Amino acid sequence: MEMLGSEDAKDWNVNAFIGFLNSIIEENPLEQARLIIRRNRDIAKGTGTLLSPNDRKLGDEFTEDVVLTLYKVTGSKGWNDKKLWIPNIKFPGNMVYYSGEC
């Protein structure tokens, strides 16, 4: 989790998010998570969406698990040709993360 971050420090509070994830682990230390890895994704920066419809559907099959989907983007569409990993985390059930910080 130490590798989480953003190119814009105002984007989100990574420490608050890590604290949220740690509280889930503390409350459910034996729970499992799912990992979906996709490489060579040609995703444009700033589109507001990351997951493909098929990957969203796959993640939705695991209703009671945390699902981490990792996309390695090619970097050719707005990322300055920098290849990077972008995470998407889906929480179990109706659990949501919200930070009221501006």
User: For the chain, what are the domain ranges?
Assistant: 32-90
pLDDT for residue 45: 85
pLDDT for residue 4: 67
pLDDT for residue 3: 64
pLDDT for residue 58: 96
pLDDT by residue for the chain (102 residues), tens only, comes to 556 666 666 667 778 888 888 888 898 888 888 999 999 988 888 887 789 999 999 999 999 888 999 999 998 898 888 888 888 889 888 888 877 665
Residue for token pair 């179990």: 92
